[in-house]
């Protein structure tokens, strides 16, 4: 009996230890020490992964020779052991040089890391907006309103925001500086913890207009808004605005249960028909991408009146798990894309009114392909602000775990020209450019609806 109790106690102890280890696996990994040899092996493994996966680094990296030279200097500079966090801080400086949000080196799970941090020190207590090198408070971390919203940050714990901005923006991934600023806006609290200071207290100098003040706050024990999982109803929304107009908001082209999404959009277009709606506004300003079939079968199916395609030309690296018959692993294939999606004949819910697609700085990946397609084939008028990402997109991202640091590397395996073949190196440019206020997103929708009403009347 005593032996059974002893075994039970030991099992409970082991279970507690295992759960404790899992509860801090991301923060613990950042504290692990690496030898110079291990770090160099990780860099070499990353280079081999990229070489086997990426179709052509020169697509986004303007000076390959300079980039490779910087990588060599980085490897040569590693002469002493360092923590994984410090190794990441140095390696992540290449993220901004990739000029591609589909290519990065980072922690295994940003959300997982943030969950662990808020159980310990906590995070910077505000959501922020980063714009043109300046940082503005937007709300309390997590999204609750703050009386300091729109105040400009001047210093954090005595350190200038300019210095902090330069530290963080260099380590942020993204197609362009504007894109990196948009992504940093969402991830500022975690990036500050990772690359600037792991502190539980913040003394902030802020400025609003001509007046400035100093506020002090404790670290927040809450997840940043961008890491909170959204429900189906929060991700996909539909609203009849008035007798002639409706708003369809799609914040992601992904849902595990695709049938549910298709059922939702079928019902949307059924209501459009029943209500005799003449103007559909599709808002993808906060859509970071997903699967193309979601918008092809869930939206364009009800709008397209002629054949269409999402790209006119592509370049892809042949890798083993996506190799077709006759292809050779390691080759780069560049081809014109000659396959067209055909419009659904006799679709009973076909929408024949005007379509406006609203884009902005967060519109990315598959959402950019959607906007390209709607614009290039004349299915919609694109309105809002230009995208921060390029209209020619990479995709087919692949993942790799570095052997010693356990950091995660991501790289794309193909590159797509937009259907028109135009605007290389340029964002999605709206047919009608309208200013957007990220703190008051409905103002833009109201303006679009007002302009339609004015023209209709």
Tokens coding 98: 């990739």
Looking at residues 427-433, what average pLDDT do you find? Answer: 97
Q: Among 71, 88, 109, which residue terminates a domain?
A: 109
Q: What are the helix (H) ranges across 63-126?
A: 64-77, 84-91, 95-98, 110-117
Question: Which has the closest alpha carbon to 284: 361, 353, 225?
Answer: 361
**Using 50, 70 and 90 to split pLDDT, how confident is the model at 3?**
low
Q: Is 87 within the bounds of a domain? A: yes
Q: Among 109, 133, 163, which residue terminates a domain?
A: 109
Residues 57 and 152 in one domain: no
Residues 65 and 46 in one domain: yes
Q: What is the dihedral of CA 87, 88, 90, 95, to 10 degrees?
A: 150
User: In this predicted structure, what is the pLDDT of residue 457?
Assistant: 66
Domain that holds residue 295: 232-308+343-391+426-456
What's the CA gap between 370 and 355, in Å, rounded? 13
Residue with tokens 């790209």: 311
Task: Determine the distance from the C-alpha atom of residue 304 to the mean position of all C-alpha atoms in its chain, rounded to a whole number.
Answer: 28
- How many domains in the chain? 3
pLDDT of 243 over the 80 cut: yes
Per-position DSSP letters for 140-163, written without gaps between them: ETTS---TTTTPEEEEETTEEHHH
Any idea what the CATH number is for the domain that residue 254 is in? 3.90.226.10
Looking at residues 229-233, what average pLDDT do you find? Answer: 95
Phi, psi of 376 (to 5 degrees): -70, -25
Q: Is 446 within the bounds of a domain? A: yes
Q: Average pLDDT over the chain, rounded to whole?
A: 94
Distances from the Cα of 8 to the Cα of 1, 22, 231, angstroms: 11, 21, 40
> 263-268: long-range contacts (C-beta < 8 A, 24 or more apart)?
264/232, 264/236, 264/238, 264/298, 265/298, 265/299, 265/302, 266/349, 267/238, 268/238
Q: Is 7 within the bounds of a domain? A: no
Residues 138 and 190 in one domain: yes
Find all residues with CB under 8 Å of 209, minimum gap 6, and list them.
Answer: none
Question: Which has the closest alpha carbon to 379: 453, 279, 306, 293?
Answer: 306
pLDDT of 9 over the 90 cut: no
Looking at residues 412-439, what average pLDDT do you find? Answer: 94
Residue with tokens 């500079």: 77
The rounded radius of gyration (Å) of the Cα atoms in the chain is 24
pLDDT of 6 over the 70 cut: no
User: In this predicted structure, what is the pLDDT of residue 7?
Assistant: 52
User: In this predicted structure, what is the pLDDT of residue 2?
Assistant: 58
pLDDT of 263 over the 50 cut: yes
Maximum distance among all alpha carbons in the chain? Answer: 88
**Using 50, 70 and 90 to split pLDDT, how confident is the model at 15?**
very low
| SS3 call for 195 | helix
pLDDT of 305 over the 90 cut: yes
Residue with tokens 């697609």: 357
Q: Is 375 within the bounds of a domain? A: yes
**Using 50, 70 and 90 to split pLDDT, how confident is the model at 350?**
very high
Residues 98 and 117 in one domain: no
Residue with tokens 């949307």: 268
Where is pLDDT greater, at 447 or 9? 447
Looking at residues 156-181, what average pLDDT do you find? Answer: 98
Phi, psi of 434 (to 5 degrees): -130, 135
Any idea what the CATH number is for the domain that residue 204 is in? 2.30.42.10
Tokens coding 130: 């980063």
């Amino acid at each position: 009996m005593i032996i059974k109790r002893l075994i039970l106690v030991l099992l409970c102890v082991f279970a507690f230890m295992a759960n404790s280890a899992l509860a801090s696996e991301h923060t613990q990994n950042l504290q692990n020490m690496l030898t110079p040899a291990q770090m160099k092996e990780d860099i070499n493994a990353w280079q081999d992964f990229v070489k086997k996966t990426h179709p052509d680094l020169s697509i986004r990296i303007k000076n390959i020779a300079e980039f490779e030279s910087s990588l060599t200097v980085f490897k040569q500079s590693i002469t002493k052991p360092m923590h994984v966090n410090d190794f990441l801080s140095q390696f992540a400086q290449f993220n901004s040089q990739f000029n591609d949000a589909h290519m990065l080196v980072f922690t295994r799970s940003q959300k997982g890391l943030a969950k662990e941090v808020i159980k310990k020190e906590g995070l910077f207590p505000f959501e922020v907006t980063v714009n043109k090198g300046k940082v503005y408070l937007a709300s309390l971390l997590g999204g609750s309103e703050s009386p300091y919203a729109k105040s400009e940050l001047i210093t954090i714990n005595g350190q200038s925001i300019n210095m902090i901005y330069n530290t963080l923006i260099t380590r942020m991934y993204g197609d362009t500086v504007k894109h990196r600023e948009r992504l940093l806006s969402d991830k500022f609290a975690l990036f500050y913890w990772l690359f600037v200071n792991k502190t539980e207290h913040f003394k902030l100098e802020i400025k609003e207009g001509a007046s400035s003040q100093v506020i002090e706050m404790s670290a927040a024990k809450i997840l940043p808004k961008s890491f909170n999982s959204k429900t189906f109803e929060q991700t996909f929304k539909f609203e009849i605005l008035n007798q002639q107009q409706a708003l369809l908001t799609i914040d992601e082209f992904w849902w595990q249960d695709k049938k549910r999404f298709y059922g939702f959009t079928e019902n949307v277009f059924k209501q459009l028909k029943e209500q005799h709606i003449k103007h559909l506004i599709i808002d993808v300003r906060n859509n970071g991408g997903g699967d193309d079939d979601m918008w092809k079968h869930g939206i364009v199916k009800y709008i397209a009146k002629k054949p269409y395609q999402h790209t006119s030309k592509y370049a892809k690296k042949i890798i083993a798990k996506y190799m077709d018959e006759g292809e050779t692993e390691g080759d780069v294939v560049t081809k014109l894309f000659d396959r067209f999606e055909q419009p659904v004949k006799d679709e009973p819910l076909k929408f024949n009114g005007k379509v406006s697609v609203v884009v902005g700085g967060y519109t990315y990946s598959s959402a950019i392909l959607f906007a390209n397609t709607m614009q290039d084939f004349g299915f919609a008028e694109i309105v809002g602000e230009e995208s921060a990402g390029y209209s020619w997109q990479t995709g087919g991202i692949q993942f790799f775990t570095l052997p010693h640091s356990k950091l995660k590397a991501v790289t794309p395996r193909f590159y797509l020209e937009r259907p028109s073949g135009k605007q290389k190196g340029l964002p999605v440019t709206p047919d009608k450019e309208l200013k957007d206020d990220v703190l008051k997103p409905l103002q833009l929708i109201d303006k679009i609806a007002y302009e339609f009403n004015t023209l209709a009347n």
